[in-house]
Structures are given as structure tokens and as C-alpha cells.
Amino acid sequence: MIPERLLNWVVFAGLLAVPLWAIVADEPFTITLVTRAVILAIAAVGLNIALGIGGLVSLGHAVFFGLGGYAMGILAYHAQTYTSLDLFGLSLAGTKSMPIIWLVAVVVSALAAWVIGLLSLRTSGVYFIMITLAFGQMFYYFAISWSTYGGEDGLSIYVRNGFPGLNTLVPIQFFGLCFALLCIVLFLNARLQNAPFGLALNAARQVPTRVETVGLNPMRLKLVAFVISGAITGLAGALFADLNRFVSPTMFNWQLSGELIVLIIIGGVGRLYGPVVGACLFVALEHWLGALTEFWHVYLGLILLVIVLFARGGIIGLLTGKEGAHV
């Protein structure tokens, strides 16, 4: 059995080595593929904070992914059409600057997560799942009917947004940017998990009554976790839209929320690198199996079934020989 720390480093090194190999071998598409995996991993790391530590099974995280995407799309659309964005009587200019777009994506997603969390956390279990799903669908249908920004067709952005000092159109440079953000998010997650907040949240998942009797508010802990979670997934959404230079209502689709949960379960719920492993496997399967058959989701389903039945700790649990994340 492999120690988890070593396994994490192997995954980390692999994620860095594949694109570097791709440069040498002149395979730019592979870089794009790995970038896609990295972005999905960021989104899933975000969800894993709510799901893995807080025990909040959110089937609505596509909301934040989509909000991040639309934050990018709307800002870049106004910049590329030289129109102003009129909001609350203010006339704002669009922007093609990634740092500003990321900031907007994070703030908007965090706000949405706060409102959705405040309402959803009154329930638990299957009702929580259904309410988050309902919010997801509300945003999805809103985006479809929002003709200002392309409605069902979405928005195309002609040139990828810029980052000071980098040429983001070069695949490896954009990959580097996304990879750096994944590292930051993983580091934040690791700190948070071992911090007093993480300890209290972890207990709030297992025994909320105990958390109350020591004078802490389990619901407030979960709400803060949900907000952090949503903000990170929102950031991933902005990156995802930039990768494709396209944003459409499908980013709000509940299928995406489901896929995020699935890839976390495959990788390992509550594990730091669980979402990363899951995202890599998901993108690899999507690429290779997707080339063979249109019905590649069947195989994904089989893998999920095997993992849920025989390896509850996901791939990381299987390789490290530990079933639970907190063992």
C-alpha cells in the first residue's frame, strides 16, 4: 500500500509532467486536455469542501460553475463589443483581464452560495439535495431565456482573456496559470481542513448535536463551508469558460453538478487529492472512451458502481489501503 502523501506527490508530478512531455512531443491538444482536467479538479476541490468535510451533498454546484462562466462571458462580451454593462444605474466597462474576472466570479459565486446555503441548510439529507438541485435548474432556465447574453446559444469570446505578463493563448502558459490556481486552492483546502474551522466542520458533519452542546453553531459552520466551496467552484467556472472561449447554459446544467459528485466519489470523498484524481480519470475516460463510443458514460457508471460497492474510499482509498478519509 502506498502512503497517501507519496501518492499525492505522484499525482502532482504527473499532472505537471504530462503537459511538459506534450510540449516536447508537440501535442498541444494533450495540454488542453490536461488543462481541462485541472479546471474540473478546481471545481471539484471546491465541492469537496462542502461534501467531503461538511457532508453537504449539493446537487447544485453547477450554479457556481455557471456563475463563474457567465461572469467571464459577460465581462469579456462587453469588452469585445465595446459596450457598457449597465448595473444598478451604474455604467461599467467590460474587461479582458483575468484577475478582475476571477475576482468577480469568486464574489458573485460566494454571494449566491450564501443565499442558497441560507435557504437550503434549513433542510438536510434528501431535501437538501433536492433544494440545491432546484436552485440549479432555476439558474439553468434563467440563462436559457436570457437573450441579452445569447440565451440558449451562449456567448462566444473571440480572444482568450489576458493575464499580466503571460500570453494566455499559448496552451502551456494557460495551463500553468490554471495549475498554479489548483495548487493554491489545494493548499487552502489543506490548511482549512486542519484548522479549528475544519475540525469543527468535520464534527458538525458527524455529530451536530455534540457541536451544539459545546456552544458552536453547526449550521453556521456549514454555511461558511458552503460559501467557500461555491466561491472556489465559481473560480473554476471562469477558467472553464476561458478555456473554451465559450459560455452557455450547459454550464448550469445539473448533469455537471452530478459529474462533480461522481468524480469526487471516484477519486475519494474528503481526501485532499480525491477530486484531482477523479477529474483526471474523468477527462481521460471522456477522451479515450468517448472516441470509441458515444455511450462512454456507461463505462463511467460501471466504474462508479464498482467503487461504491467495493472501494468506498475511492481510488485514493484503494491505493492507500484506507477506507475512510479521516482514518
Partner 1 sequence: MSEPILATRNLRKNFGALTATDDVSIDLRAGEIHAIIGPNGAGKSTLIAQICGGLRPDSGSVHLLGRDVTADNTQARAQAGLGRTFQISALAMEDSVLENVVLGALGSSGNPWRFWSRALSDTSLTAKADAALERVGLIEHRNTRCAELSHGQRRQLEVAVALTLSPKAFVMDEPMAGLGAEGSKLLTAFLDQLRSEAPILLVEHDMDAVFALADRISVLVYGQVIATGTVDEIRQSRAVREAYLGEEA
Binding site for partner 1 (CB under 8 A): 191-192, 194-200, 202-203, 206-207, 209-217, 221, 224, 324, 326-327
Instruction: Indicate the residue among 200 and 276 with the shorter CB distance to partner 1.
Output: 200
CB of 195 to partner 1, least distance (A): 5
Nearer to partner 1, 38 or 211 (CB): 211
Give the DSSP H or E segment for 92: strand 90-93
Nearer to partner 1, 165 or 215 (CB): 215
Q: Scanning the structure block, which residue is given the C-alpha cell 493563448?
A: 169
Q: Give CA separation, 173 vs 13, 31, 159, 168, in Å.
A: 17, 10, 15, 6
CB nearer to partner 1: pick between 66 and 208: 208
In the complex, least distance from residue 216 CB atom to partner 1, rounded to whole angstroms: 5
CA 184/CA 168 separation, integer angstroms:
19
Residue among 40 and 221 whose Cβ is closer to partner 1:
221
Rounded CA separation 113/64 (Å)? 8
Cell of 311: 472501494
Q: Which is nearer to partner 1, 10 or 327 (CB)?
A: 327
To partner 1, the closest distance from the beta carbon of 272 in angstroms equals: 15
| Residues 113/106, Cβ–Cβ less than 8 Å | no
Residue 269 CB, nearest distance to partner 1 (Å)? 12
Identify how many contiguous H helices and E strands the chain contains and give both numbers: 13, 4
Q: Are 177 and 163 in contact (CB under 8 A)?
A: yes
SS3 of residue 271 by DSSP:
coil
| Contact predicate 251/237, CB 8 Å | yes
Q: How far is the CB of 205 from partner 1 (least distance, A)?
A: 8
Least gap, CB of 122 to partner 1 (angstroms): 15
